Structure 1
Amino acid sequence: MYEAMRDEGASKEKAARVSNAAAASSRSSVGRKGGRAEDYEDRTKDELVKRARELGIQGRSKMSKKELIEALRNH
C-alpha cells in the first residue's frame, strides 16, 4: 500500500501514516473519506497556519493561503 501511494504522488509521511493505519484496521475504513471537514478555501489563513502547525509543516509562516492549502492537501 505504501509503494502504491508513493507512486500516486503521496508524501512519504502520508503514505506511511495511511499504510500503518491500514495495518491496524481494515483498509476500506482507512481510505474512506468522511466529508465532515470544511473546505480549506473556506478557512482563514490563521486557521490554515494553525492546522499546518499541528501537522508540523515547515515554512508555514511564510506561505500564502494558496501555498498553505497545497501543503495541507499534499501532507
Structure 2
Amino acid sequence: MTKDHGPSIKNDEKYEALRKEGMSKQKAARIANDPNSGKKGGKADKYNERSKQELYDQAKEIGIEGRSKMSKQQLISALRNS
C-alpha cells in the first residue's frame, strides 16, 4: 500500500517510485505533481527545437532559480539537470 505523503504530493505512488530510483525529494515531488508527467511518450519537442521563451516558461513552471538571466543553452542545461 502506498503511503500518503500529504496534500503537497499529488501522486504518492509515482513519488515513491521516483524516490526508490534515487531521485531527491524535491525532484520526485515536482515530477509526481506534474499532471503531464509521463504522458507525452517521447513525443515532446527536443529542447534545441524550442524557443528561448518556451524553455523559460518551462523553467518557471518547475521553479528553476536564476532563469531570467540564463541564455538558451543555460536554460536547456538547467532543465536537463532538474
TM-score normalised by L of structure 2: 0.57
Match of 2:22 in 1: 5
Higher helix proportion (structure 1 or 2): 1
SS in 1 for 2:44: coil
> Could you say what secondary structure the match of 1:5 adopts?
coil
Partner of 2:47: 40
Tell me the number of residue pairs that the alignment of Structure 1 and Structure 2 aligns.
62
- Alpha-carbon distance between aligned partners in 2 of 1:64 and 1:41, rounded to the nearest angstrom: 12
Aligned to 2:79: 72
Contact 1:5/1:15 (<8 A) preserved: no
- Separation in 2 of the partners of 1:69 and 1:61? 13
Mapped to 2, the partners of 1:44 and 1:12 lie a distance apart of: 30
Q: Is the 8 A contact 2:30 2:62 kept in 1?
A: no
Identity percentage of aligned residues: 54
- The runs of 5 or more residues in structure 2 that have no matched partner are 1-16
The answer on whether the counterparts of 1:45 and 1:65 sit within 8 Å (CA) in structure 2 is yes
- If asked which structure has higher relative contact order (CA below 8 Å, sep 6+), I would say 1
Q: Name the CA distance, whole Å, in 1 between partners of 2:65 and 2:78.
A: 9
Residues of 1 paired with 2:68 and 2:62: CA distance? 13
Root-mean-square deviation over aligned CA pairs: 2.6
